[in-house]
Amino acid sequence: MPNPRSTAFHILLKIENEGAYSNLALNHAIREQQLGGLDSAFVSALVYGVLERQITLDYIIKQYSKIPLRKIESRTKIILRMGLYQLLFMDKVPASAAVNESVNLAKRQKLQKSAGFINGILRSVTRTDPPYSLPDQKDKIYYYSIKYSVPQELVRLWLNSYGELNAEKLLESLSGRPALYARVNTLKTDREALKQQLSAEGVTCEETSILPNALSLSGTGAIERLSAYKSGLFHIQDLSSQLCVDFLSPRPRDVLLDICSAPGGKAFTAAQYMENRGKIYACDLFDHKLKLIRGGADRLGITNMITNKRDGANGIPLPLADKILCDVPCSGLGILSRKPEIRAKQDLIPADLPGLQYKILCHSAQYLASGGTLVYSTCTLNPAENGENVARFLKEHPNFCGKPLALPAGVTRAIDETDYELTLMPHTAGTDGFYVAALSLRK
């Protein structure tokens, strides 16, 4: 029988040593080990929990360890993080099990010398009340970094950009698993019929007040196993991305360019708005990503899509389009709760990204037809990648102007911004962190 803690350990090791994506590594391991419901849930909670709390866990290790953190062997460090997370953040795991299983895991990894070290630290934590103390709040950046387990550079960025109230709300939103949303494939079914089928498969569905064809899902298990998914009745897409397409407002017979399309979710939603008519040019730089887009389109029954291998910043010419979606590569700070391993990246806020994004925006805008709409978007919360790029574009392209966004009920602005842009935040819109701006040619 597979050991859930061993499975979690190997997933975390793969993420740390090979840069694996948490969701892909986790799904692969659960399938390969054929873990049942309880074991699967435990492994998921442990893996995501350790990734989410890594900065806090390492801070605690440093309080107890005489060996500097940088000198602790990576496998030992991962086992320590796992043990601490079970002790401090998993209420249903007995302390004795957290300690003993961590020691046993070290021995199975032939870390005999580390086993005593791990045992000593974990037992010291169980005997200390409180087990750790947070830094002094006078240093807000360091305090919030340790409390919410995020790099100090991100705390500083959000405090400076959005104010302390928004920053702390954003930091709070990073803990726990975010809501899962589906977009109803209106080419094959409708909302009520999909709800009935998913309910029959044991999935809990709730409608949203923001968009009529968005459903909140829970109790899905592995999405790919669902008959409704295999039949192409829906695709997974956060409310923020669905709103982005709604602001673009694709219509039947439109020509639409999706400049950085992979994995294709926004193009799929656009095709449904377009009733599978018109043309969608789904572009990406890599063959394997284009293959992914084509596979998703086939499953959903989308036939008005053409995939194009193309560099968004300097690619082959495209036809004039009624609608252009410029969803550029970004730092992903709005989806840290879905990809917690991003927190450990050394270049969490790359300085060169805004320049690339601006180049993609400028190169794409030349293909917008008169009367058309271009939507620029990112899944990040960083003004340099968002509003500053759009403001620069409008200043340097006086033939373009902003196109006001009509916000749906339930979506409010967290910050002061123009009427043609919107910064979505979890605590004001119930979505991932996201930015969208609508632009058009002046008449």
**Residue 420, φ and ψ in degrees, nearest 5:** -100, 5
The residues pairing with 258 across neighbouring beta strands, listed in sequence order, are 282, 325
What integer best gives the mean pLDDT of the chain?
95
For the stretch 373-388, pLDDT in tens is 999 999 999 999 999 9
Residue 36, pLDDT score: 77
The alpha carbon of 438 is separated from its chain's Cα centroid by a whole number of angstroms, namely 22
State the pLDDT confidence band at 29, using cuts at 50, 70 and 90: confident
Q: C-alpha angle 304/309/312, rounded to 5°?
A: 100
State the pLDDT confidence band at 30, using cuts at 50, 70 and 90: confident
Q: How far apart are CA 139 and CA 154, in angstroms?
A: 15
Per DSSP, the three-state class of 197 is helix
Q: At residue 407, does pLDDT exceed 90?
A: yes
Per DSSP, the three-state class of 374 is strand
CA atoms within 13 A on the CB side of 92: 5
The answer to whether the CB of 268 falls within 8 A of the CB of 297 is: yes
Q: How far apart are CA 266 and CA 213, in angstroms?
A: 14
For the stretch 264-293, pLDDT in tens is 999 999 999 999 999 999 999 999 999 999
Average pLDDT over residues 414-428: 95
Q: How far apart are CA 226 and CA 229, in angstroms?
A: 5
Structure tokens at 202: 């044991």
Residue 399, pLDDT score: 96
For the stretch 311-345, pLDDT in tens is 999 989 999 999 999 999 999 999 999 889 888 88
Active site residue 260: no
Q: How far apart are CA 377 and CA 422, in angstroms?
A: 10
Q: How far apart are CA 435 and CA 381, in angstroms?
A: 7
Structure tokens at 43: 């492994």
Q: How far apart are CA 174 and CA 154, in angstroms?
A: 12
- Catalytically annotated residue among 205, 244, 260, 379: 379
CA atoms within 13 A on the CB side of 305: 31
Q: How far apart are CA 67 and CA 63, in angstroms?
A: 10
The answer to whether the CB of 16 falls within 8 A of the CB of 78 is: yes
Average pLDDT over residues 86-98: 95
Q: How far apart are CA 234 and CA 218, in angstroms?
A: 14
Q: How far apart are CA 176 and CA 166, in angstroms?
A: 18
Average pLDDT over residues 227-235: 97
Residue 1, pLDDT score: 61
Q: At residue 443, does pLDDT exceed 80?
A: no
For the stretch 236-261, pLDDT in tens is 999 999 999 999 999 999 999 999 99
Residue 156, pLDDT score: 97
> Would the pTM count as exceeding 0.75?
yes
Residue 225, pLDDT score: 87
The region, left, alpha or beta by phi > 0 then psi within -120 to 50, assigned to residue 19 is left
Average pLDDT over residues 142-151: 96
For the stretch 34-72, pLDDT in tens is 777 788 889 999 999 999 999 999 999 999 999 999 999
Q: At residue 157, does pLDDT exceed 90?
A: yes
Closest CA relative to residue 425, chosen from 57, 173, 148: 173
Beta strands, E only, 255-367: 255-258, 279-284, 305-309, 321-327
Q: How far apart are CA 374 and CA 322, in angstroms?
A: 8
Residue 10, pLDDT score: 95
Domains of the chain, earliest start first? 4-127 (1.10.940.10), 140-172 (no CATH), 180-236 (3.30.70.1170), 239-441 (3.40.50.150)
Residue 377's contacts (CB-CB under 8 Å, 6 or more residues apart) are: 244, 325, 326, 327, 328, 434, 435, 436, 437
Q: Is 195 or 18 the better-scoring residue by pLDDT?
A: 195
